[in-house]
Structure 1
Amino acid sequence: MFTGIDEVDWAALRHAYGSAEDVPGMLRGLASVDPAEREIALDGMYGAVHHQGDVYDSTLACVPFLFALAGREEVPDRGGIVELLVSIGGDGGAELLGGSYAMAHTAVRASAGEFARLVGDPDAGVRRAAAGAVVRFLDEPARVLGLLRERIMVERDDGVLLALTESLGLFARRHPGQAAGALDLLTTQSAPPYGPGLRIAALGQLAACAPDRLPADLVDTVVRLLRDRSERRPVTSDEPDRPDTNTLVGRLRRLRPSDEEGSQLLRTLHTALGSRVEDRIGLLCGQLTSPDPVDRCNAVWMSTKLFGEWRADYSEPVALIGAQLGADDDRLREAAVSALTGLVDIARPAADDLYTLVASRPDLWVQQWAHGLPSLGGPLKVLAQTGDPRAVPVLAEVLEGPAVPHDLGQVIPYMGRAATPLAPAFRRRLDELPLDSPESHERATSLLLALRVLHDRECVPGVLRLLLGTPEEARLRDVVVENSVRTLGSLGSAAQEAIPALRGLLEGEFAVAAADALWSLAADTSAVLPVLLRELTFGNARRRGAAADVLARLGPAAHPALPGLLPMTETGTVWERMAAACAIWRITAEPDPALPVLRGAWAENPYTRLTIAECIAAMGPTGAPLHDLLRAELSSVRRHQATSDGFGQGVFADEQLLRVCREALRGG
């Protein structure tokens, strides 16, 4: 297995953490009789030699030895070694990356015949890993399909059969001209007499490769199969005991779902269904009403990707997720809370269940951590994010407690006027903050946000104390000062006593924020405009964009800034161009210079769309040339911040964008 290993100059090779002189020890550890030593060795391979998928010269040097280990039946856990080889070899795109990635792909592909032999290995774990490897690296489609077909005929291990089914789908996607045979096998596997797990797996692959072969009653079929599978699933895992090592491999094993196979089956199907949102909602509802809590837990985790990526009416699945909050299973309850976090208005169908949990479990109001400040407990946070007024008395009680969560103020923007009674408690907490404590600086931002949203006019002395008294050397001083200035600005004329302090900030790094606040307090063009003009000329990109935002607020009074704003629409970053265009329109009321800039920014960066939509809404009828953008956004079923890899973020921001688009079209 290790012939020639000592002839390699490992010390001259590199991995993620420097010299690769420790790699021979890792390779030998993979063959150890001690399970813990094998796991530590595999963890080291992933952590250093193949760190986050990277390929080093030491990675390439390992490939022959890994193949030698994979081929020796006396070596335990060879399935993990085959998986490592597959990861090192990468996918078809590795060749496009060039360099060491292409070399690794070529090296693994050169020995792909070994994978063909391992498809029939006595070890089920090896057969499982080899099934996908032959499709990825053996460049003989007819032979590959023959190997898969032969193995399906004789295979008895359910895990290997599932891997073979996934490999058939991969084959169909890689070789569309020769996919018919693979699709026929998948169609056969999707029907009786095959078991429910294998049928779900086959349907998931068909959904991705040949949706025309799916049954008309797909959702009902899958839900029925899922429940049949749950009834057959053993209560205890038949996996062998594994060492409890403090490794990435060990941690991932402990974190994985209790029914990892079922989770993977459903994730594959949901991903393949893609934009068939109604089918996916129906499937989720079927899963969430399963008698099996494991199935329901898997469904909850499936929902997060769906909610984050696609727009739809989710009231039914959200209500069903809310019903899981009363489960005795801590894992299911925590999953439900996690899935509802950040949904804001969309989570309202779960509000009653959230309140029931919050009212019955005061121990969940605050989350204590071994390190760092306490945070707001998940159920209470989600209830507050829905804007439910029942959260207010509970938040008041938390504010009076000994350990105020550092992020409590962050839920206040969702509460609206219902949170007004909390203002005195937030003000008192701000007044009590020691100015020389790092923890105080972390808490200050959240408290200031709450007071800003609540427009608490009586907080001015406390905010000024923080603004003027935070030590220069404080780690978060910049954040504290900027948020203090913004809070004062939000209070308008009620904060007149802060004007001298704000004027003192007009020459430093907080100049734009101070100018913004001063304009709100006194509308003094002579004090504010020179500062903003200076920032347009000499500030960095962030400050130039911020200055443009403030100039937009000045309106016609900012006319002298036009010579500085116009070049920004052509040469700045997308954020600068957008800010400058909005400012030019608000200053001149002439839409023509702004329209093409806003259209370009909208297409270039989806994260600009909410701001641009707000600007179009403010334009009224003159924004009509851009209304096609708003209509197209409203007709899209995909969230505007969903990424190309299928993950979505910013559900709240997306819902805000849709609301503004509708309002703009009604007003225009």
Structure 2
Amino acid sequence: MRSPAELDDVRWSELTHAYGPAEDVPELIRALYGDDAEAADEAVQELFGTIHHQGTVYRASAPAVPFLAHAALHAPRRREDLLMLLAVLAEHGPAFVESPHWPGSDVAAICAELCAVLPELLPSLEDPERGVRRAALRMVATVADVLPDEPRALALERVEALYADDPAAAVRADALIVLNAFGRTLEPLDSPLPEVRLAAAQLAAERSGPPYAPDLVEIFAKDGAEPDPGDDDFPWADTTTREQRLTDLLTQDPDVGLTVAARWIGAGDIGSQGSWLAESIAAGWRDKEREVLGLSLAALPHTRDTAALRARFRVIAHWIDLLAEPDADLRDALHQYAGADDETAEAALLALAHSRDPRALDLVLARPTARLLEAAARHFPEAAGRLIPVMRRELAAGATGNDGIAVIRAMDSFGTEARAAQPELVDCLRTRRAAIVAARRLGANGVSTPEITGLLHEATRSTDLSLRASAAVAHHRLTGDPETALRTYESLFSSKGRPNWYLSGLEPMGSAAAPLLPRIEALLESGDDWTRKAAAEAHRWITGSPDRAVPVLADLAGTTPVGLSALKALAATGRYPDELRPSLTSYVSSPKRLLTDTPFSGQGHPDEELRTTSRLLLAIG
């Protein structure tokens, strides 16, 4: 343990942290002892972001440990934070100790320093502040597997005392987890303390794995419904809170998880615990949407916070889109919320539109936004005559950025009926508002005027590479003359932009893009997956033959975003190699989701696309 007087004995300038030379570390540590509370708080935050940054440690981290330990004892107002900092600095996985990277590693050096000072820090386990005791337990747990015998015995004795006698049940539960880290297997499932029972059940379930025993499930359902109000600040391994650990555990057994989520929601969905668990199960497992949406409906009356309620509606909008026939009671509830005059109405209306409930259309038309119009166009394409005039007004009023893009993309659902918005699309191209999608839409509309072709020709000289590409292809579609598009694409190939940005727009040109084939064939060997995929598609569009494309696409196919895109491109060819069949079968049959997605995208789920595309390919035979 080293005092601030010794800080200058370390050559900090020769050490590094997350932002370069660690010359500022001495000043930050000295600030911990000062009377300026704000400066001390800032110093703690800086230390959490420099010598430890998003789970990474550095050469300056280990030399700081003895100084931080001294500060933890002599700057008591910061004791809790500093003990937690020491804990996260020393965090490591069990397998890492045995790896060849452990000797000489920064983590190994940190743990060695912490083991050396740990005996002097053990009195923190008896601190009158509950938070300090919990932080001290976390610190002890991080080095439990590497402590030498003598300090190990001292630490184990102190932890056992906390487990037996601490007045705070949460501290006893933490102590039980630390004892487990020391190799003491205790399962007090009959403890009178709910916190201890829950910790014991979690440890037992982690050891056994799913399916979980009924007595463990009952403890989860009964004792896990109400989160510990102080737990958010006390993550265990990998900065995971007890609630997150329990959710992850229950998500591994989806049927049990849904049962527990229902119990938690029935108990009031405190802290959105039940909702969060249900949503995690939908995110990780297929075909659970109906049960999860039923639980979301049950949780709505318990969701009082406006921001939380909006988030819940966005989640419902995401999952309800995957159901062929959403339940009527959920649609009725969404309709009721959507008709309200408050901050949550738009989010509820978006969910109602995704449910394809016809009542959503009138509400969207009454208070349109870009996102609502996009959803309505996708789910009610038959209402083009009612939606297009509203979209035109939105564009004429100056919709730009993502709003303008959403409104124009929504017109893809209407085919030739989108021609009614020609004046607004031309204005968007002229003023560079959502110009890329406006150019594409104008080309697809097929209406050629000197003004439109002139604007498109001008846009092919834009500094925006994507606009140049979109305008060039649209110009060809309207004029039938490929020269402007070919010149534009030759210049794009010579630019620094990624080829997949513009190759994906070549399809409408077909064989007219044949002069570009030498460039495209060279890209079939690119080291970038997205570029190879885009080049393979472009080669097929131009030649009309899938022979060169199929091997490239099959090699890329898999459970990644580019892999899914390659599978969709394969489906368009109508061919795939036989060796891909086992993978396709597994993509269809997996009960788990193989691709993840944000629940706020509002555009379906890539894992559903993976399963649907794989089924389509298998049907080809």
TM-score, with structure 1 as normaliser: 0.70
Query: What code does the residue aligned with 1:652 have?
Result: H
Cα deviation digits, residues 433-464 of structure 1 (max 9, x gap): 26466xx2xx2245456778xx5334887864
2:308 is the counterpart of 1:332: yes
Determine the C-alpha separation between the residues in 1 that align with 2:5 and 2:63: 13
Residue 306 to residue 357, structure 1, CA distance change in 2 (3 Å)? same
Query: What code does the residue aligned with 2:427 have?
Result: E
- Whether contact under 8 Å (1:502, 1:517) holds in the other structure is no
Cα deviation digits, residues 563-610 of structure 1 (max 9, x gap): xxxxxxxxxxxxxxxxxxx64266xxxxxxx4xx7665446x644443
Determine the C-alpha separation between the residues in 2 that align with 1:420 and 1:356: 33
Aligned-partner SS, 1:90: coil
Cα deviation digits, residues 201-243 of structure 1 (max 9, x gap): 332332222348954165554333345x48xx8xxx799xxxx
2:435 is the counterpart of 1:444: yes
2:457 is the counterpart of 1:468: yes
- Whether contact under 8 Å (1:287, 1:299) holds in the other structure is yes
Aligned to 1:205: 203
Cα deviation digits, residues 64-90 of structure 1 (max 9, x gap): 111112233x61131110111112223
Cα deviation for residue 421 of structure 1 reads: 9.2
Aligned-partner SS, 1:507: helix
Aligned to 1:549: 537
Counterpart of 2:117 (choices 95, 111, 121) is 111
Cα deviation for residue 546 of structure 1 reads: 3.0
Residue 78 to residue 472, structure 1, CA distance change in 2 (3 Å)? farther
Residue 66 to residue 398, structure 1, CA distance change in 2 (3 Å)? farther
Aligned to 1:150: 161
Determine the C-alpha separation between the residues in 2 that align with 1:38 and 1:346: 51
Aligned to 2:393: 400
- Whether contact under 8 Å (2:62, 2:113) holds in the other structure is yes
Residue 450 to residue 198, structure 1, CA distance change in 2 (3 Å)? farther
Computed over aligned residues only, the root mean square deviation of the Cα atoms, in angstroms, reads 4.6
Aligned to 1:629: 583
- Whether contact under 8 Å (1:324, 1:336) holds in the other structure is no
Determine the C-alpha separation between the residues in 1 that align with 2:391 and 2:507: 36
Aligned to 2:29: 27
Determine the C-alpha separation between the residues in 2 that align with 1:34 and 1:377: 49
Query: What code does the residue aligned with 2:84 have?
Result: E
Residue 281 to residue 466, structure 1, CA distance change in 2 (3 Å)? farther
Extract unaligned runs of 5+ from structure 2.
Answer: 348-367
Query: What code does the residue aligned with 2:614 have?
Result: C
- Whether contact under 8 Å (2:581, 2:618) holds in the other structure is yes
Aligned to 1:40: 42
Counterpart of 2:256 (choices 247, 267, 279) is 279
- Whether contact under 8 Å (1:56, 1:100) holds in the other structure is yes
Cα deviation digits, residues 283-335 of structure 1 (max 9, x gap): 3333344435x44x333444454333332322121244356667552032132
Cα deviation digits, residues 344-378 of structure 1 (max 9, x gap): 733774665555544545867999xxxxxxxx979
Query: What code does the residue aligned with 1:22 have?
Result: D
Cα deviation for residue 99 of structure 1 reads: 3.9
Cα deviation digits, residues 466-485 of structure 1 (max 9, x gap): 533348564xx112223334
| Counterparts of residues 595-610 of structure 1 (less than 5 Å) | 601-602=556-557, 606-610=560-564
- Whether contact under 8 Å (1:33, 1:76) holds in the other structure is no
Aligned to 1:121: 127
- Whether contact under 8 Å (1:27, 1:65) holds in the other structure is yes
Identity %: 20
Aligned to 2:518: 533
Aligned to 1:242: none
| Counterparts of residues 472-491 of structure 1 (less than 5 Å) | 472=461, 474=463, 477-485=464-472
Determine the C-alpha separation between the residues in 2 that align with 1:395 and 1:354: 25
| Counterparts of residues 640-655 of structure 1 (less than 5 Å) | 640-642=594-596, 652-655=605-608
Query: What code does the residue aligned with 1:548 have?
Result: A
Query: What code does the residue aligned with 1:76 have?
Result: R
2:531 is the counterpart of 1:520: no
Aligned to 1:563: none
Residue 266 to residue 134, structure 1, CA distance change in 2 (3 Å)? closer
Aligned to 1:429: 424
- Whether contact under 8 Å (1:358, 1:379) holds in the other structure is no
Query: What code does the residue aligned with 2:178 have?
Result: S
- Whether contact under 8 Å (2:567, 2:614) holds in the other structure is yes
Determine the C-alpha separation between the residues in 2 that align with 1:405 and 1:315: 36
Aligned-partner SS, 1:109: helix
2:104 is the counterpart of 1:82: no
Matched pairs, number: 566
Cα deviation for residue 151 of structure 1 reads: 1.3
| Counterparts of residues 219-238 of structure 1 (less than 5 Å) | 219=217, 221-226=219-224, 229=226
2:523 is the counterpart of 1:584: no
2:246 is the counterpart of 1:269: yes
Residue 267 to residue 383, structure 1, CA distance change in 2 (3 Å)? farther
Determine the C-alpha separation between the residues in 2 that align with 1:652 and 1:394: 25
Query: What code does the residue aligned with 2:534 have?
Result: A
- Whether contact under 8 Å (2:371, 2:406) holds in the other structure is no
Determine the C-alpha separation between the residues in 2 that align with 1:614 and 1:323: 37
Residue 345 to residue 112, structure 1, CA distance change in 2 (3 Å)? same
Determine the C-alpha separation between the residues in 1 that align with 2:603 and 2:203: 30
- Whether contact under 8 Å (2:520, 2:539) holds in the other structure is no
Determine the C-alpha separation between the residues in 1 that align with 2:382 and 2:126: 62
Cα deviation for residue 40 of structure 1 reads: 0.9
Aligned-partner SS, 1:431: helix
Determine the C-alpha separation between the residues in 1 that align with 2:53 and 2:207: 32
Query: What code does the residue aligned with 2:484 have?
Result: A
Residue 518 to residue 337, structure 1, CA distance change in 2 (3 Å)? closer
Cα deviation for residue 500 of structure 1 reads: 4.5
Determine the C-alpha separation between the residues in 2 that align with 1:473 and 1:415: 25
Residue 164 to residue 429, structure 1, CA distance change in 2 (3 Å)? farther
Aligned to 2:52: 50
- Whether contact under 8 Å (1:485, 1:514) holds in the other structure is no
Residue 472 to residue 624, structure 1, CA distance change in 2 (3 Å)? closer
Cα deviation for residue 655 of structure 1 reads: 0.6
- Whether contact under 8 Å (2:564, 2:610) holds in the other structure is yes
Residue 471 to residue 413, structure 1, CA distance change in 2 (3 Å)? closer
Aligned-partner SS, 2:214: coil
Query: What code does the residue aligned with 2:485 have?
Result: L
